[in-house]
Structure 1
Amino acid sequence: MINLDKTYKILVINPGSTSTKIAIYNNEKEIFLDTVRHSIEDLEEYETVYGQYEFRKKVILEKLNERTSDLKDIAAVVGRGGNMKPVVGGTYRVNDQMIEDLKDGVMGQHASNLGGILAAEIATMLQVPAFVVDPVVVDEFHDLSRISGIPDIQRKSKDHPLNQKAAGRKAAEELGGEYNKFNFLIVHLGGGISVGIHKKGRIIDVNNSLDGDGPFSPERGGGLPVGSLIDLCYSGKYTKEELRKMIVGRGGLVGYLGTNDTRKVSRRAKLGDKKAELVYKAMAYQVAKEIGAGAAVLKGEVDAIILTGGIAFDELFVNWIREYVDFIGKVIVYPGEFEMLALAQGVLRVFNKKEDIQIYK
């Protein structure tokens, strides 16, 4: 918990693939939170992520106009950090170079690219600074982590650093210390699944949960047998776009069971659906294998295994993982995600001089 004598009011903006979340915090106390859902029809007319900018800005301003009294004394605006150039973790002041790189999507196209751009625009209107915190491209890999086995392919750090680091800080506080003093294995269990190896405050390795690495997930294929994948690519059955969608979007539970809703899958397993149980348990099995690999990287020096994200609400799935990894160390479960609060906390750490502002170059 960040204890501040002064109260800072912080506006938080988090654009997701099919939603825009807006919140206002007094220090760490949430005083307003709203999630605007966007239909496929709302978004399909835009050819690029940046093309959605005016649409998303209009949505945010409409919501804020309903809360004009809450906008008084806003100290900063913070947005979710998107696909700019790789950076170390921390809180970054939005600058012109960052905005250009987010517009271009230099590391990929995702709605999070709009977070810093929208934060900067609205911060200018309010005459306050704009920030992003622990963007999706946080890269704290050591050299060994980058080697793939094929010289033309380098392993990349692309996962869920905002929620992972927030969970790590929460666990460190409960364990009576600072995040940068512990070794954690932190598992984000969502539409994508990432297992981060956190060594003294840095994510030194993690599976690339977006591009096909590590465990399969509700809608992603995860690490696949490469030879079989090559055969599939040249089978003539699928286009490049169809194969990409098969790996990210129609893989995992969607591919096997026709749904990405783990609540439905869990219910089916409990009611005796043997296929649902087998596939769902295989997903937990692969998560446990990735945790075991992370424990090896840390040479067994694991202070805690932390499970977070939406699937962590499911005790059936969590207990399956526990059965495999309890011998490694303490398992801590933080269901859900902490992205909105984590964004506000990043700004508070800077305002409270717990961290320096990072400069994006």
Structure 2
Amino acid sequence: MNHLEKYVLVINPGSTSTKLALFLFQESGVAEKVEKTVEVPLQIIEEKPHYLDQISFRLSQVRSFLKENGVSENQLVCIASRGGPIKPLPAGTYKVTKHVCDDIMSGRVLTTHSSLIGPVVAYNLSQEWGIPAYFTDPVSVDEFIPEAKVSGLPEIPRYSALHALNMRAVARKYADSVGKTMDDLTAVIAHLGGGFSIGAMEKGRLIDSTNPNEDGPFQLERAGSLPISDFVDYIYDNWPDLKALNRRISGKGGLVAYFGTNSFKDILSLSKEDKNKALVLQAMYYQVGKYIVAMNAVLKGSAEVIILTGGIMHNPEAIDGIKRYTSWMKKPYAVYPGGYEMEALALGAWRVMKNVEPLKDYEVSDYGN
């Protein structure tokens, strides 16, 4: 690559792979130059099943990625990392600091997830190279109104965990397309990928949303909301251990439990061959539509647009299936298939470095203790 060009390095770890990208840092924004997904070998996962034990290996993946693309650390303006479920935070971009890493390493987080290795890797490299590292709109973004946090049991409140990064990215894209800022936008946003988040955005703030691991429609691999009494009976009758139970409802639930595959392309094909499977797929559209309507109710009917995003939205049949239950609201639709997480991370870093928006403060707290 051109040695005069400057780049944002983007790091997005998953449980079995790491997405890496280089974005050209420009006056007007960022432009993707290269993106690659590098696998984490099964041997590493078996030897070091806890993601925080994989730090040195993930660091080596980043170094190899830069070397194979002919980019040196002195060409990097900053690092942009996925944030993960750190702790409840307002939306925005934060600097990765020692305090952030201390919270992750000591378990003061909303929940454990492999994405939490991202800020730790980014911080290590930022200290070595003398450049800042940032994370933007983690899944623990919490802008819920108080009513959204009340459940039917005081000891089990609802909490915010959602695909905030992509939801806010597409909201910003839509707002730009109609000559508005995201802070002026009120919309229902449905992220429908591997997990589903259906949220209500009021003036740029996600004031309520389904939680892909807790409630909402059933998804590709997740069970969503379940009949609670029957679920309690199921737990006692089957005596599963906690890990197996969690795996059943998040990993082996949802469409994969009915179809035996998490490939939506295969699910569409199978639904055309089997009327029972067709009913299950229709039920998923039904549930997605039901929660879209519910989130518009949260907004008192004021949503100006329904935004659909995520990998499932590459399929026109899925879009039509959802509209069957929501078109009566007479709202316009904006569809952004796939995900924009890598670009959103790079742009979040760019905006704070260019003073387009302020850097948010990450305050050390005793959350999780």
- TM-score tier by shorter-chain length is over 0.9
The residue type equivalent to 2:308 in the other structure is L
How many Å separate the matches in 2 of 1:266 and 1:70?
Answer: 45
Task: Tell me which of 23, 36, 49 is aligned to 1:25.
Answer: 23
- 1:324-335 matches, within 5 Å, as 324-328=325-329, 329-335=331-337
- Using the TM superposition, give the Cα deviation of residue 85 of structure 1 relative to its aligned residue in structure 2, in angstroms: 1.8
Note closer, same or farther for the CA distance 1:295–1:103 as it changes in structure 2 (3 Å cut).
same
Partner of 2:263: 261
The residue type equivalent to 1:321 in the other structure is I
SS at match of 1:234: helix
How many Å separate the matches in 2 of 1:345 and 1:172?
Answer: 16
Instruction: Out of 63-72 and 103-112, give the one that drifted further.
Output: 63-72
- Using the TM superposition, give the Cα deviation of residue 41 of structure 1 relative to its aligned residue in structure 2, in angstroms: 3.9
Partner of 2:366: none
Partner of 2:204: 201
Note closer, same or farther for the CA distance 1:168–1:293 as it changes in structure 2 (3 Å cut).
same
The one-character-per-residue Cα deviations of 1:154-200 (angstroms, maximum 9, x if unpaired) are 10101110011001101111121001101111111112111011111
Matched, 1:183 2:186: yes
Partner of 1:322: 323
How many Å separate the matches in 2 of 1:354 and 1:229?
Answer: 48
Partner of 2:289: 288
The one-character-per-residue Cα deviations of 1:78-137 (angstroms, maximum 9, x if unpaired) are 100022221000000111111011223421111110111111111222211011010111
Q: Does the CA-based 8 Å contact 2:13-2:19 persist in structure 1? A: yes
Q: Does the CA-based 8 Å contact 1:82-1:102 persist in structure 2? A: no
Matched, 1:108 2:106: no
The one-character-per-residue Cα deviations of 1:289-318 (angstroms, maximum 9, x if unpaired) are 000100101011011111111111111111
Task: Tell me which of 168, 171, 174 is aligned to 1:165.
Answer: 168
How many Å separate the matches in 1 of 2:140 and 2:324?
Answer: 32
Q: TM-score, normalised by structure 1?
A: 0.94
Note closer, same or farther for the CA distance 1:70–1:311 as it changes in structure 2 (3 Å cut).
farther
Partner of 2:232: 230
How many Å separate the matches in 2 of 1:231 and 1:269?
Answer: 30
The residue type equivalent to 1:197 in the other structure is A
How many Å separate the matches in 2 of 1:255 and 1:48?
Answer: 27
Task: Identify unmatched segments of 5+ residues in structure 1.
Answer: 1-6
- 1:64-143 matches, within 5 Å, as 64-69=66-71, 71-105=73-107, 106-143=109-146
The one-character-per-residue Cα deviations of 1:262-287 (angstroms, maximum 9, x if unpaired) are 110012223x3222211111111111
Q: Does the CA-based 8 Å contact 2:98-2:123 persist in structure 1? A: no
Task: Tell me which of 244, 264, 274 is aligned to 1:242.
Answer: 244
Task: Identify unmatched segments of 5+ residues in structure 2.
Answer: 364-369
Q: Does the CA-based 8 Å contact 2:85-2:161 persist in structure 1? A: no
Partner of 2:277: 276
How many Å separate the matches in 2 of 1:100 and 1:113?
Answer: 12
Partner of 2:177: 174
How many Å separate the matches in 1 of 2:322 and 2:138?
Answer: 28
How many Å separate the matches in 2 of 1:175 and 1:8?
Answer: 31
- Using the TM superposition, give the Cα deviation of residue 288 of structure 1 relative to its aligned residue in structure 2, in angstroms: 0.5
How many Å separate the matches in 2 of 1:358 and 1:103?
Answer: 21
Matched, 1:57 2:59: yes
Question: RMSD between aligned alpha carbons?
Answer: 1.5
Q: Does the CA-based 8 Å contact 1:281-1:317 persist in structure 2? A: no
The residue type equivalent to 1:333 in the other structure is V
The residue type equivalent to 1:120 in the other structure is Y
Note closer, same or farther for the CA distance 1:349–1:339 as it changes in structure 2 (3 Å cut).
same
Q: TM-score, normalised by structure 2?
A: 0.92
SS at match of 1:69: coil
SS at match of 2:207: strand
